[in-house]
A and B are shown apart, each in its own frame.
Chain A
Amino acid sequence: MAVNLEAGWREASIAGTVFEAGNSVEYITGTWRTLRPVRDEERCTNCMICWVYCPDSSILVEDGKVVGFDYDHCKGCGICAAECPVKVDKHAYTGKPGKVIQMVEEVSMQVGK
């Protein structure tokens, strides 16, 4: 249920109290990024450490496997890349040595899964 952004003071909920659970998902924070994570999905071991650490619940998981990043909400903090324990010699997307998750410039719009 989207908030009416043109609501006058009479219509807006008192003190901005929110009466829905989990509706912060409607607020898009992905635009705040300057860096985005890209994942070498072939080399990912699905250890779930990135999912545990992500402060914005932006690691998408289905059936016990990582399927991608929620780029609508990922703020590019880099914690997933820092915590990822798996090393690669040549990342499938960046070509660089490092981890399975690497941070790239947001303006590059590289899409990793």
Chain B
Amino acid sequence: MAKSKAMALDGAHAVAEAMRQINPDVVAAYPITPQTEVVMTFSNFVADGLVDTEFIPVESEHGAMSTCVGASAAGGRVMTATASVGLALMLEVVYVAASLHLPIVMAVVNRALSAPLNIHCDHSDSMMARDAGWIQLYSENPQEAYDNVIQAVRIAERLSLPVMVMQDGFITGHGVERVEVLEDGAVKEFIGEYKPKHSLLDVDNPATYGTWAMYNFYFEFKRQQTDALSKAMPVIVEVGEEYGRLTGRKYGILDTYEMDDAEMAIVVLASTAGTARMVMRGLRQKGVKIGFIKPRVFRPFPAKEFVETLAGVKAVGVLDRSIAFGAMNGLGPGPLYLELCAALFAAGNTTTKVADYIFGLGGRDITPAHIEKVAQDLAQIAETGEVKTVVSYLGLRE
């Protein structure tokens, strides 16, 4: 196991530290709360000569991703960061990055989309981009953000697909925690040297990226993207296991707690998992057969893993930190609920009942009491076999 040093870092600084150790060829970025400190800190590293990175301050997030696409096609190791409406502004090119199979790594510090203007945490931004073709990883805390960014470089380059690493804006982005930081050499060795396959700068083997395709070919190129994503999970697992051997912190697809004999389960992404884990512990001590699942990987969606883990579970409470407006006759569940239900239905599981709880939008606080209420609901659902309310809200003033 490699040596590491404990540092007090918030999630943004943890990501910046990982970026410093990765030492990418190009970083092109535009500031946006709550990501700003990621790139701002990194730009200090650039100014202090601690990295060799070509740092390009661009005029907007659209320019940032465009620059990243060009630099990546030119064979560079490329990283950037954004959030919320910044991700929305660059969305056109986010799709391009995945369509061109470019291994760009982007830190997304989750923040609510407008309107109204809100700088605080929810998952509407990264969920907006869930169909763009990127790998999506969610981090519970600054340690996971640091670890995920490092692994993302390996995952991206092995799959030739871009990777988004999420963490909750302000909650972990601005929350200082103890982070075990590897030695520079260990990170450098883990990510290895990037050997781009068809660089634009390789004039002996010319390549043209981003061509035009008519109706007689576009479909085939999209099918190729699905092929690439269908092969991603084993690579994510493999890299996670290797990282585990290096650091003692193993990463997989689903982070589960007390699911072996659970009759009820709560599913939640990112930092709220910390609160949920604490509540679960208390409930388990009271003998409640409940567990929870924190997906680390959202894209590709771990349908198979969910179906396996939820086999025999009577009631599931999904906590969604974004709304898929208009879904289900306008009931407005979130994307985690929708994808989980699709997975269960496709696998023929109609006995596990699922209820959705929208929470935390625009940074609205979620408390242990909220999660205990969900657990109470699940006990009811498990007993009656009926979901009375498909979509509920935690912390909303009615």
Task: List chain A positions with a Cβ less than 8 A from chain B.
Answer: 5, 7-9, 12, 14-21
Contacts and interface: CB of A to CB of B under 8 A. Distances in A.
B80 to A, nearest CB: 20
Contacts of A12: 217, 220-221, 224
A15 B101 CA distance: 7
A16 B213 contact: yes
Interface residues of B, number: 20
Contact of B207 (A7, A8, A9, A18): A18
Given A14-B101, A17-B207, 5 more contacts: A9-B224, A12-B224, A15-B221, A16-B217, A20-B206
B250 interface: no
Contacts of A16: 211, 213, 217, 221
B99 interface: yes
Residue of B99, B101, B160, B207 contacting most chain A CB atoms (<10 Å): B207
Contacts of B211: 16-18
B207 A19 contact: yes
Q: Which 3 pairs of residues, A with B, have the shortest CB-CB distance? A: A9-B220, A21-B206, A9-B223
Contacts of B100: 15, 17
B216 interface: yes
Contacts of A7: 220
B209 interface: yes
Interface of B, helix, strand, loop or mixed by DSSP:
loop
B221 A9 contact: yes
Contact of B208 (A5, A8, A14, A18): A18
Contacts, number: 42
B227 interface: yes
Q: Which of A16, A19, A20, A21 has the most CB of B within 10 A?
A: A16
Contacts of B99: 15
Nearest to A8: B220
A15 B224 contact: yes
Nearest to B218: A16
B198 interface: yes
Contacts of B101: 14-15
B273 to A, nearest CB: 36
A73 to B, nearest CB: 16
Q: Which of B100, B101, B205, B221 has the most CB of A within 10 A?
A: B221
Given A5-B216, A12-B217, A17 B208 contact: yes
Contacts of B217: 12, 16
Nearest to A12: B220
Given A16-B217, A16-B221, A17-B100, A9 B208 contact: no
Nearest to B102: A15
A21 B205 CA distance: 8
30 contacts: A5-B216, A7-B220, A9-B220, A9-B221, A9-B223, A9-B227, A12-B220, A12-B221, A12-B224, A14-B160, A14-B221, A14-B224, A15-B99, A15-B101, A15-B209, A15-B221, A15-B224, A16-B217, A16-B221, A17-B100, A17-B198, A17-B207, A17-B209, A17-B211, A18-B207, A18-B208, A18-B211, A19-B205, A19-B206, A20-B206
